[in-house]
Amino acid sequence: MTTTTQISQEQQVTTGATIWLTGLPSAGKTTIAYELAGRLRDEGHRVEVLDGDEIREFLSSGLGFSRADRDTNVRRIGFLAELLSRNGVKALVPVIAPYADSREAVRERHQSGGTPYLEVHVATPVEVCSVRDVKGLYAKQAAGEISGLTGVDDPYEEPASPDLRIESHTQSVQESAAALHALLTERGLA
């Protein structure tokens, strides 16, 4: 027999939400997402990290990096995140999403369905990102091997009013994840 207390605890743990971490390449989005995911799982939440590189490989492999293709990619990821979220999963989305109108379309999709959505700007300066250069993109761009690198020779439209701004270059990964967890707790999502 299920008690009222058990139902309340189950509902709390299965409240879904999309947490979109936007920022430049090598800003720390994915690292923070995985740190937060571990903490949320330890608390009993259902969590999925929708890594941008994996999505490109499996769901958006035919897309390039034009503005239209980037918009399509962001909307596809937003659809998947909203689907997971409305089914009780915390969808952590560490995806650049360089254009404000694409991010706004995802937010509106969530709002129209009543699904919680948070936008987090991992606001790491390009100078710091280029030193981190996790995937070697900044070096390739500097050597002329690639073009269209977000924040260097392709635009990145910073969020005007994100739900949270994390300056990952001034704090540890754990501190960044803790700040995001505090926001989720404040909003009744953790």
Annotated binding residues for ATP, written as ranges, equal: 23-30
Alpha helix segments (H runs only) across 43-136: 52-58, 67-85, 100-113, 126-132
> How is residue 77 written in tokens?
């990821």
Closest CA to 87 of 52, 127, 54, 46: 46
Angle at 92 between CA 69 and CA 15, to 5 degrees: 125
Task: Name the burial class of residue 81, with classes exposed (0-12), middle (13-18) and buried (19+) by CB atoms within 10 angstroms of its CB.
Answer: buried
Contact between 60 and 73 under an 8 Å Cβ cutoff? The reply is yes
**Distance between CA 177 and CA 157 in Å, rounded?**
23
What residues are designated binding site? 23-30
- List strands edge to edge, sheet with 47-49: 47-49, 90-94, 17-22, 117-122, 164-166
